[in-house]
Amino acid sequence: MKVLVVGGGAREHALCWKLRQSPLLRDLYCAPGNPGIEALATRVPLAVEEVQRLADFAEEMKIDLTVVGPELPLSLGLADALAARGLPVFGPSRRAAEIEGSKVFAKQFMERHGIPTAPFALVHDAAEAAAVRGRFGWPVVIKADGLAAGKGVLIVNSEAEYDTAVHEMLEERRFGTAGDRLVVEAFLEGEEVSLMALCDGERVLPLATAKDYKRIGDGDTGPNTGGMGSHSPAGVLSAETAAHLFDDVLHRAVAGLAAEERRFVGVLYAGLILSPDGPRVLEFNARFGDPEAQVLLLRLEDDLLPVLAAGAAGRFDVRRLAFRKEAAACIVLASPGYPGKPVQGERIAGLDRASAVPGVEIFHAGTDRAAGDLVSAGGRVLSVCALDTDLVGALRRAYTAVAEVEWPTKVYRHDIGRRVIDQG
């Protein structure tokens, strides 16, 4: 088969790594890819938002399956453009991807379908914002409706912070049109867990549980990022609870989307919080999590390619996916300045030694080449991942590899998995 992967981060590197292992794969392309992906796939110099040109490429090259990594091309209608040309794609249509693309739609959808979520109010203007100020206590969460490159969710602690945030979003248009409407929602305490499933429009194949760490600093401090580390299993919920949640949340969501003529083909991701009142959905995403995909794909035993191809054709032909019993962990190495303005162009070496640590795989994200050197070229730069018999071992291996990466200013968390292990 000829396969095109769309995206250029560590998630897409992990997808290429996994797809490359399939005996069914003939040619693998990745648009735009990154230097780490070069050994696995032919890079295509198209950006993820060039939807029509990506569809032209897939048509010209007679691509048998396109797998879409990030949310932006999905909400710009890449899956629709491919489907209109009769080309198979594993990724949801623009209408189905609204579950991620519009926080307002997602909250109302959850309410309609009885999916447990935090209490909320919708806000369109300053008067509505004033009317719900304080309704959910403090802190409170304010979310921009649209996609805002992972930055559109703010946690505010007081009336003054609330007024400033609302003013910046609604009046100063901090997130552009993404902030035209806001969701104001109760802040919930508890452990977070990421549940994902492959969906064929009707059926759902649960992936193993995973947990990611969104804050930049140790001890969950500092601003939110795209994710600074992950592990699988999540270690914070029993297999029984996970099975219930797959039914109550992911099955229900896929059925609800189908009933609303938004058939969902692709990866549906529920970000949950295990609050004292029970599990609640914080958000849905219409794609693999990053860095959760890296650890899930390390643990996946099945050949991914025929499963995705069957899903794209609208009918899975397996009933469940098999995962290794071992645990997987991922430590993200980021540039100084991230998640604000990352310093770029710093030389990185030592990846051969780091990759030689048993069980370790390194996936590239924001890297580039300059004068024969590998250099940093983004916020999140490398995902250093490892597999071992348990979480303690996987983390030990991953951190051993991190120490081999020669990049003096690298920023990373030193406590990925620590609380889960301590709570044992």
Per rule CB under 6 A, is residue 69 in the interface with ligand GLY? no
Cβ-Cβ contacts under 8 Å for 401 (sequence gap 6 or more): 354, 355, 357, 360, 362, 384, 386
Nearer to ligand GLY, 136 or 284 (CB): 284
Q: Site for ligand GLY (CB under 6 A): which residue of 50, 98, 292, 388?
A: 292
CB 335 to ligand GLY: min, Å: 18
Cβ-Cβ contacts under 8 Å for 238 (sequence gap 6 or more): none
Per rule CB under 6 A, is residue 359 in the interface with ligand GLY? no
Strand partners, 278: 275
Question: Which range, of 24-32, 39-47, 154-162, 289-297, touches ligand GLY by CB under 6 A?
Answer: 289-297
Nearer to ligand GLY, 380 or 410 (CB): 380
Strand partners, 386: 329, 360
For residue 319, give Cα distances in angstroms to 92, 198, 254, 266: 21, 11, 16, 16
Structure tokens at 258: 């189908």
CB 271 to ligand GLY: min, Å: 7
Per rule CB under 6 A, is residue 12 in the interface with ligand GLY? no
CB 287 to ligand GLY: min, Å: 8
Residue 81, Ramachandran bin (φ over 0: left; ψ between -120 and 50: alpha; else beta): alpha
Per rule CB under 6 A, is residue 294 in the interface with ligand GLY? no
- Name the 3-class secondary structure at 370: strand
Number of residues that bind ligand GLY (CB under 6 A): 6
CB 129 to ligand GLY: min, Å: 26
Question: Which range, of 60-68, 259-267, 288-296, 332-340, touches ligand GLY by CB under 6 A?
Answer: 288-296
Question: Which range, of 140-148, 170-178, 254-262, 285-293, touches ligand GLY by CB under 6 A?
Answer: 285-293
Other Cβ atoms closer than 10 A to 277: 10
Q: Which of residues 176-235 bind ligand GLY (CB under 6 A)?
A: 212, 227
Q: Site for ligand GLY (CB under 6 A): which residue of 290, 361, 388, 404?
A: 290
Dihedral over alpha carbons 205, 21, 393, 347 (to 10 degrees): -120
Per rule CB under 6 A, is residue 100 in the interface with ligand GLY? no
Structure tokens at 347: 């030389």
Buried b (16+ CB within 10 A) or exposed e, 318-337: eeebebeebbbbbbbbbbee
Cβ-Cβ contacts under 8 Å for 146 (sequence gap 6 or more): 101, 102, 103, 152, 175, 176, 177, 178, 179, 180
CB 229 to ligand GLY: min, Å: 10
Per rule CB under 6 A, is residue 289 in the interface with ligand GLY? yes
**What is the contact surface with ligand GLY in residues (CB under 6 A)?**
212, 227, 285, 289-290, 292
